[in-house]
Amino acid sequence: MSYSLSQLSEILEGRCIGKGDFLIQRVSTPEEASEGSIVVVLDGRILKDIPREVSIVGKEEAFSDGRRGISVREPRLAMAVILGLFQKKATVSEGVDPSAVVHRSAYVDENASIGPLCVLSEGASVSAGAVLRANVFVGEGVSIGEDSVIEPGVVIYQGCSVGDRVLIHGNVVIGADGFGHIPASEGRRVVKIPQIGGVRICDDVEIGANTSIDRGTIGDTVIGEGTKIDNHIQIGHNVSIGKDCLLAAQAGIAGSAVLEDRVVMAARSGVQDHIRVGSDSVVAASGGVTKDLPSGSLVSGFPARNHRAKLRQDAYTSRIGDLFDRVKRLERLISEDS
């Protein structure tokens, strides 16, 4: 697999600098780069580590010393495109593996791929181009959209739906019961509240390994179009997540919370139940949201509050030791004067 610099520049909508017929055979890190490599420059400080015979992709200023490559406005976006071009795709064989168990009422498109030891329950459907790798359980009435990829070990409970072009990584569980219980009281044990809703995964969603998304108590838990969910994330019952949100590792969204479009949840952050987070908001790492946030908020800490206010409070807190020492000195001076 190789591309000329001029071909890549057209794909990236950038400007080719140097010989357009020079062939690029791989994407490399600065440390591993050699002739035939291309390196994406996200930080100009790495230029010193890149041999001059190696092509680069970066902003215009990266080429001030006469290097060869492609000038682009957004190097990070260009990196995503280039990596997609050179990514090795897993081999897919259409059809149903002999070891798979497919209920007689289930529908599998002739262009879908059902891998070893998969189970398709009554009324399940798998659309054209969808791939179930191996040992995937698909419950009753579950639908899987076109060109979606379900990696090994995924469990999708009954009554859930997966849209088109969805990528679900290994050991994800979709549609387990939401955590709905009435606490015990004297003379009565804990009472479980039946969970009769489902989970609706919209188009172009990605769900990271070992994530759990619970079914709704009544109605569906919804993951909006284009949202990307990292590994080890818990999404509770009846949560509604909007379009193009980003949820990083170990985030937790409690039941019936709402994340509007383009919300970013950093690692280990969380949202309390029945809370609404406005569109384009960012919750910093380990932040805990306990009240509704307006659109465009940037919050941190627990309970989460305006990030700048939190930084000021942290700065004041860090000075407590010095202030304590000053007060003690003043007390001594006052005591000596008296």
- Two tokens at 155? 């469990």
Give one DSSP letter per residue of 213-260, joined into a string. EEPPSSS-EEE-TT-EE-SS-EE-TT-EE-TT-EE-TT-EE-TT-EE-
Residues 125 and 111 sit within 8 Å (Cβ to Cβ):
no
Q: What are the two backbone dihedrals, phi and then psi, of residue 291, each rounded to the nearest 5 degrees?
A: -145, 160
Q: Of the candidates 247, 233, 236, which has an alpha carbon nearest to the alpha carbon of residue 193?
A: 236
The answer to whether residue 237 is catalytic is yes
Residues 131 and 116 sit within 8 Å (Cβ to Cβ):
no
Give ∠ CA 83-85-87 in degrees, rounded to 5: 60
- Reported as type and span, the H/E element at residue 198 is none
Residues 132 and 138 sit within 8 Å (Cβ to Cβ):
yes
- Two tokens at 242? 């909007």
- What spatial distance separates the first Cα and last Cα of the chain, rounded to whole Å? 87
Give one DSSP letter per residue of 93-141, joined into a string. --EE-TT-EE-TT-EE-TT-EE-TT-EE-TT-EE-TT-EE-SS-EE-TT
Amino acid identity at 99:
S
Q: In the chain, where does DSSP find H-type helix? A: 5-12, 75-86, 307-318, 320-337
Which residue in 169, 237, 274, 307 is the catalytic one? 237
Q: Of the candidates 58, 139, 61, 156, which has an alpha carbon nearest to the alpha carbon of residue 103?
A: 139
Catalytically active residues, by annotation: 237
